[in-house]
Amino acid sequence: MPGAFEGETVTRRRFMTAVTHGSGAIAAMAFTLPALGFAIGPLFSRLPWSWQPIGPPEDFTENTYTTKVIQLVQGIGEAGNSIAYVRKRNPAIDTEPLDEYDHWVALSDRCMHLGCPVRYVAAAERFICPCHGGVYDFRGMVVGGPPVRPLDRFYTRYNAATGLVELGPRYSVNSELQRFSPRDPGEPLDGIGQYLYPARFSTASLTDR
C-alpha cells in the first residue's frame, strides 16, 4: 500500500476518514431509521373491527335497501362513520354461492371510482355517485360511468343470542362477485387487476378473530 507504514494495509489518513464517515452515517441512521419506521408503521398494523349490530332481521326486505350508519374508525366521531345499504338475500337474483356470511347483502356506500358516497335511488333501483356519475344496479354491479368494479360489501351474520343482524369487515368483489380482501376504490380486480393491486397488510380481516 503506497503511503502506508510498513506492514499496514491502509494509510492512517484513509482509515481515519473511513472511521469518521462511518460514525457519522451510524449517527444519522440512529435517528432516521426509527423515524421512518414510525411513519410507515401503520402500513403493517391491522385495522381493529368488531361485529356491529344493525337491527333485527325484520328490518330488511328482499326488494329494497335499508340505510344503516356504521362505524369504520373509532374515536373521531362523524369522520369515522360510513353507510351500509342492507337487504335480505334474494335467491332469485343473488346467484353468487351462499355461505354463512351472505344471508343479508350489505353494500358499502363508497363508489369504486374514487370513493365518493353513492346514494340509493329506489325509483330507479340504482346506486348513483354524485362526483363523476358512476351508476350501479340493484346488486351493486357497475352499469355506467367510471367505476372499475362492483360496490364493496360487508360480511353479515345473524347473532342468535341477541336476535340481531350483525355486520363485519368490508371485502371487495370482482365483476363475478368473487371475494377479495378490501381494496381501495379505483383498483380493478378483474384479470390482471388483482395482481396490479395486491392485498394490503393493514385491512381488517374476518380471520382475525
Partner 1 sequence: MPKLPLPPLPKALQPLPPRPGDSDANGNGKPQTTAELATEAGISVVDWIDERTSMSGGIRWLLFRKVPRGINWFYTLGSATMFAFLNQAVTGVFLAMYYRPDAAGGAYESVRYITDDAFLGQLVRGMHKWGASVMIILIFLHMGRVFFFGAYKYPRELTWIIGVVLLILTLAMGFTGYLLPFDQRSYWASIVGININAGGPFIGPYLADFLRGGAEFGATTLSRFYAIHMMLIPGLIAALIGFHLYLVTKLGISAPPWLKAEEEPELRETTV
**Residues at the contact surface with partner 1, assessed by CB under 8 A:** 39-40, 42-43, 45-47, 72-73, 75-80, 114-117, 131, 182-187, 196-200, 202-204
Q: For partner 1, which is the closer residue by CB, 11 or 175? A: 175
For residues 141 and 112, the answer to whether their CB atoms sit within 8 Å is: no
Q: How many whole angstroms separate alpha carbon 201 and alpha carbon 29?
A: 26
For residues 100 and 157, the answer to whether their CB atoms sit within 8 Å is: yes
**Helical segments of 41-96, H only:** none
Least distance (Å) between residue 6 CB and partner 1: 46
Least distance (Å) between residue 126 CB and partner 1: 21
Lookup result for grid cell 394490503: 200
Q: For partner 1, which is the closer residue by CB, 78 or 100? A: 78
Q: For partner 1, which is the closer residue by CB, 24 or 41? A: 41
Q: Could you tell me the three cell numbers for 99?
A: 355461505
Least distance (Å) between residue 89 CB and partner 1: 26
Least distance (Å) between residue 171 CB and partner 1: 12
